[in-house]
Amino acid sequence: MTMQQTLDPALAAPEPAHGAGKLAAIADDKAMLRAARDLTRDIAEARPGIYWPDMVGSALLGYGALAGAILVESVPLAVALGLVSALALYRALLFIHELTHIHRDALPGFRLGWNLMVGVPMLMPSFMYEGVHTLHHKRTQYGTVEDPEYLPLALMKPWSLPLFVLIALLAPIGLLIRFGLLVPLGALIPPLRTMVWERASSLSINPDFRRKPPEGAFRRQVLWQEAAGAVWAVALLASPALVGWKPLLVALAVLSLTAVLNQLRTLVAHLWENEGEAMTVTAQFLDSVNVPPPGLAAEIWAPVGLRYHALHHLMPSMPYHALPEAHRRLKRELGAGSTYDGANHPGMVHLVSRIARSTMRAR
């Protein structure tokens, strides 16, 4: 999964420099920022002809394979179909990331279509990411205690890494409880409703993050999405009385695999080396991760453009289908050994090993 380059991978991805303020001290590489802006203007438009078939096709494949995993009698075939379902639904689900960045008028109906086909059925409607993920991209909040999607994992204890990944196994059960029990109870008990919104309404990893109440048009989106999620969750909880436990248990197993895969991707989306200081855009870029071609595996575990996560932090509104070309242009323009090269890494195993070694040296 390594990008063809003249530099040794260890030089392209230097080991973390520990100590307060190391990342915060990195100045902006203005030539790189200028190139990112100037070289990609002609590919910055989201193309409905790519978004819709990709999302709908992934969802239909995922649900079809899930139905097969439930219905077939052969265990090996059921496992294979479950794996296909998990990977396809994972890809469909990750379009939630695109929804937070594309202009509201860019893809008419796409947000509604995604929520009806993917977000609500998987109990992850778009309100759980919209209005939260953008805080992660704020210049003064990335990597600080105010960032809902940042933990200095590389500076934490070694046991924190497996715990971070394994806790995702419980995500589908947690979502069933949230929508099927806590939302209906919250309608009757306002303090519970407030607590659920503040602490369990966002796909965040910072345990100290507390979400502010929704306002305006966004509040109306939250109300219908949460109501639809509650109805669907109650139906799922009641389903064993009608069709037995197998469909629900198989679906929970598939979604648990999807959640773990996403958590692994999250683990290697950044180097997690910041100690809480505000950072320049270039420092945020270098604390983020690209896993570019020629390897194919990253397209499976980091689909919908997320293998270019560092590049995404340079250009958050760039549509996912344009990121490969943007990467090629910047690589060609800036050359080997540039700041841009510093965010390109060989693959997941290399990144997990690097973060794990860093935890061994953590204070």
Residue with tokens 């409703």: 193
Percent of residues, the chain, with pLDDT higher than 90: 87
pLDDT tens across 6-26, in order?
Answer: 223 232 333 433 334 577 788
Please indicate, yes or no, if residue 51 is contained in any of the structural domains. no
Number of domains in the chain: 1
Domain that holds residue 359: 1-46+139-363
User: Is residue 10 included in any domain, yes or no?
Assistant: yes
Rounded-to-integer distance, Cα 165 and Cα 72, Å: 30
Assess if residue 91 is contained within a domain: no
Decide which of 21 and 167 is more confident: 167
Residue 114 lies in a domain: no
256 close to 169: Cβ distance less than 8 angstroms: yes
Number of Cβ within 10 Å of residue 67's Cβ equals 15
Residue 260 lies in a domain: yes
187-213 pLDDT, tens per residue?
999 999 999 999 999 999 999 999 999
Q: Which residues of 209-241 are buried (b: 16+ CB within 10 A; e: fewer)?
A: bebeebeeeeeebbeebbebbbebbbebeeeee
Tell which residue, 280, 124, 118, has the closest CA to residue 132. 124
Residue 275 included in any domain: yes
In a domain, 151, yes or no: yes
